[in-house]
Structures are given as C-alpha cells and as structure tokens.
Amino acid sequence: MSRLVVVSNRVSLPAKDGSPPAGGLAVALQAALEERGGAWMGWSGNTSALAESAALTLQQRDNITYALTDLTETDVEEYYHGFANRVLWPLCHYRMDLAEYGRKEMAGYFRVNRFFAQRLAPLIQPDDVLWIHDYHLIPLAAELRQMGIQNRIGFFLHIPWPPADLVVMMPAHQDIVRSLSHYDLVGFQTDYDLQNFVGYLRREEIGDDIGDGRFRSHGRVFRAGAYPISIETATFADFAKKAASNAMVRKARQSVEGRDLIIGVDRLDYSKGIIQRLDAFERFITTNPAYQNKVTFLQVTPKSRSEVPEYEQMQKMVAEQAGRINGAIGTVDWVPIRYINRSISRSVLAGLYRLAAVGFVTPLRDGMNLVAKEYVAAQDPERPGVLVLSRFAGSARELKGAVLVNPYDSEGTANAVAKALSMSVQERRERWRSMMDYLLDNDVMQWCDTFLQDLTMGQ
C-alpha cells in the first residue's frame, strides 16, 4: 500500500495523551495515515518574519510525519484572509456581493501555494499518494507538477462549487480551474457541485466529459466525482448516549425542564443563515402562541475569522437580533433564545443534540454541514428529535428523513418548526431510522476509503 501525504491549510496535531482528535475529518485522515504511513503538512497557524527561509517543523508520531510551516504576516493577509476567505469563500457560497477581489491577494494566494509545494516536495517519495484539502490549496498540484512531481494527487473541496455564471465573475477563474486539471481526482461534496463544475467546463469550452467520470481539459485527463463527507456515526452515537451523564448536560436538562429544546450549532459565518433562523424562530412563536414558554432555542455559535470585517459585524448583528427577539417575545419567567458565542466541549455538544427535540440547521449555502449528521447520530432511538434542514445544505441530498426548508422563506421555516414539534413519535422514529441507517453505512471512514480507492484506481 502506498504512503499517504495529506495537505490542508491547518494540521490537526495528535494530542500528547494519545486521545483521538475532535472532529470526524481529523479522525478519518489520521486513521488513513496510520494505516498507510505518511505525512500531514499544513500551516502552523503562526506568523513569522522568517517564514520564507524557515524550514518545516517536523514532528514524528509512529509512522506519521506532521510537517508544519509558519507564514509571514503578508502571506496570511493575502493568501488566507485575502484570497481564500474574502474571494473564494464568499464566491463558493454564492455571495459575490461580499467578495473583495484584488490582484495582490490573488498573487499572494498563488505564491503561498508555490511555497507549500517547495516545502512539500522533499518529503514526497516516488510511490506516495497525495491528498490535498480545500479551497486554500487549489493550485498546489499545478505547482508540484511544475517541479516534476508525477505522483497521484487528489483534491477534495469541502465547500460548494457554484454555477458557471457565478464562477466567471471571479477575475481569476481560468487560473483556478486550470489548476484543478492537474489533479488525478477532484472530489466535490454533492452531485450538484459536480454538475456545476462540468457545466463550467462546457460553458467555457475548456473541457470535455469523456465518460466514466473522466474529463479532458488543458491537455490533461482527470477524474471528478461526488464524495459526500460524513461523520464517525457509530462512535458519535455512543458518545452522545454517554454524554447524558455529563454534569453540564444535566444542568442544561434541568434548565429546560418542561420545555422543548431547539438547537442550532454553527461557526459564526454568514453562510450559516443564523439571522434568518432567529427571524424564523420569532415568527414561529408569534404565529403559534401556544408554544410561548414551552420551547427554548439554544444557538451555539463559536466565533470564527473575527479578523475579517464581515464576521465582526455579523457577531454584533446576531447578538443584537437575539437580544431584540428576547425583549420582544420573552416574559419574566422565559428567555426564548439562549445564545452562546463561544465553543463548547464536544461531549456537551453531543449531549445537547440528544436533548434537543429539534435540530435547527438552516444554512443559506453549505458544502455538506456535519452538524446535521451529528444531530441525527446523537438521537435516542426511542424518542428521536426531528431535523429541520435547509435544502441548500449538501447534507439535504442524503438526509431524506429531515423536514426540508428554504431558509429564505421565514414563514415556511416557522411552519416546519411547528410541524417538527408536533410530529408523532412513530413518524419521528421512521424518519430517524432511515437517516441513521444511511449514516451508519456511509460514515467518514467509508468516505475516506472510497476517495482513496478511486484516487489510486488504475495506478
């Protein structure tokens, strides 16, 4: 079996005490690395004045080398905050209105990818299989190819790939798509993303579908497919069951006693539709007054990317919105919305999912959305809650037992919450069982194996 070399913007270093990493992706990639041996390279998260000349920091844990690089402040500003998070992220989430394209940032993005390639190349052995992750590193294969690296290289995009009409609005779109043709396998979250990508090749007349998931573009033949990412379903289900005895979860249960809990969990990001969700919740209460003092909506929203102005502004908007709604519909003995603006432990999170009658997952656009899958896995099979899920999350393509909503339709979303809360236990069980069976068969290990199998196919 070939060694595996993973590259992602950030690296998940294993805990010193040997405990498993938090989050399914890190667990799956670490398991794949342990099985095959290899390396995981990425940015350390640190800035350094010397990054250009500094060597990689290597940490060896059994058969895996963790290789970390610092970046200069300019690199972080241009590559990470600039092009990745202020151009590619908004564009791929259909928010070109928020994109701030600049040539300096684009040059920084390609420069840092070249820098990654230069650092990575000496670690690569002839038979290694490389797996590059996400929108920060799209040009990495092209840079490696230029340096003579001929290994199998796969790429997985964790965020959506938008329709051609949107992609062409980004001035650098040709360079970005040309870069993708240097991979052997390009993985998207859903068939919709794949269709959008194929539509772009056709529309720009730069690629042909030559059948069997293979494409010819820019003089290269590569494969592209949909590989919906997942979670460690069985482990998470077990974790959630055990979390019921967690002291914090017990306290939470006491504090909502007699009320149904509705839970929302998202990084603070405009793609997650938090403002629209709060509106829909307010509408649900005002149109269903019988639920006054009968529900608690808990929104857990750890801060993310606070240095990007849109995110700082959003933080204020969400806090103000939650405060306004609580002021408008709350009573002396009832706070309708509880808003937590920091990260909580994975165990408490799992316990809260299980406690909640409704998982309220309504992104305006999301590559997959693992919260939806975690919510399902965490449920009590006897008394499962109901997932209210945006049709614009990649996970809506798979989780057929969810109540699907359009988050731009506040009334429709409010009605869906009412429907979820009044659903019979039998219907809840049926809906949950179908989703849980699907997630047990399609967990993150299976995702990882399928991608790597396809990447090495015909090698």
Distance of alpha carbon 331 from alpha carbon 281, whole angstroms? 16
Residue 349 contacts ligand GDG per CB under 6 A: yes
Give the residue among 339, 330, 327 at the shortest CA–CA distance from 264. Answer: 339
Contacting ligand GDG (CB under 6 A), which of 315, 343, 406, 456?
343
Q: Which is nearer to ligand GDG, 124 or 243 (CB)?
A: 243
CB of 125 to ligand GDG, least distance (A): 28
CB of 354 to ligand GDG, least distance (A): 13
Q: Which is nearer to ligand GDG, 351 or 401 (CB)?
A: 351
Question: Within positions 247 to 266, which residues make up the interface with ligand GDG, using CB under 6 A?
Answer: 265
Residues 20-39: x/- map of binding to ligand GDG (CB under 6 A)? --xx-x--------------
Tell me, yes or no, if 269 is annotated catalytic: no
Q: How many helices (H) and strands (E) does the chain have?
A: 17, 16
Helix runs in 297-407, H state only: 309-329, 346-355, 370-377
CB of 103 to ligand GDG, least distance (A): 27
CB of 11 closer than 8 Å to CB of 4:
no
Give the residue among 221, 218, 219 at the shortest CA–CA distance from 209. Answer: 221
Contacting ligand GDG (CB under 6 A), which of 20, 171, 302, 323?
302
Tell me, yes or no, if 366 is annotated catalytic: yes
Distance of alpha carbon 411 from alpha carbon 286, whole angstroms? 11
Question: Within positions 156 to 175, which residues make up the interface with ligand GDG, using CB under 6 A?
Answer: 158-159
From 18-26, 194-202, 255-263, 326-334, give the range in contact with ligand GDG by CB under 6 A.
Answer: 18-26
CB of 13 closer than 8 Å to CB of 45:
no
Give the residue among 285, 276, 382 at the shortest CA–CA distance from 326. Answer: 285
Residue 402 contacts ligand GDG per CB under 6 A: no
**What is 416-441 written as a DSSP string?**
HHHHHHT--HHHHHHHHHHHHHHHHH
Residue 366 contacts ligand GDG per CB under 6 A: yes
Options 133, 136, 158, 182, the catalytic residue = 158
Contacting ligand GDG (CB under 6 A), which of 300, 364, 376, 439?
300
Name residue, tokens 């109540």.
403
Q: Cα dihedral sign for 356, 357, 360, 366?
A: positive
Interface contacts to ligand GDG, rule CB under 6 A: 22-23, 25, 158-159, 229, 265, 267, 300, 302, 343-346, 349, 366-371, 374
The set of catalytic residues is 158, 366
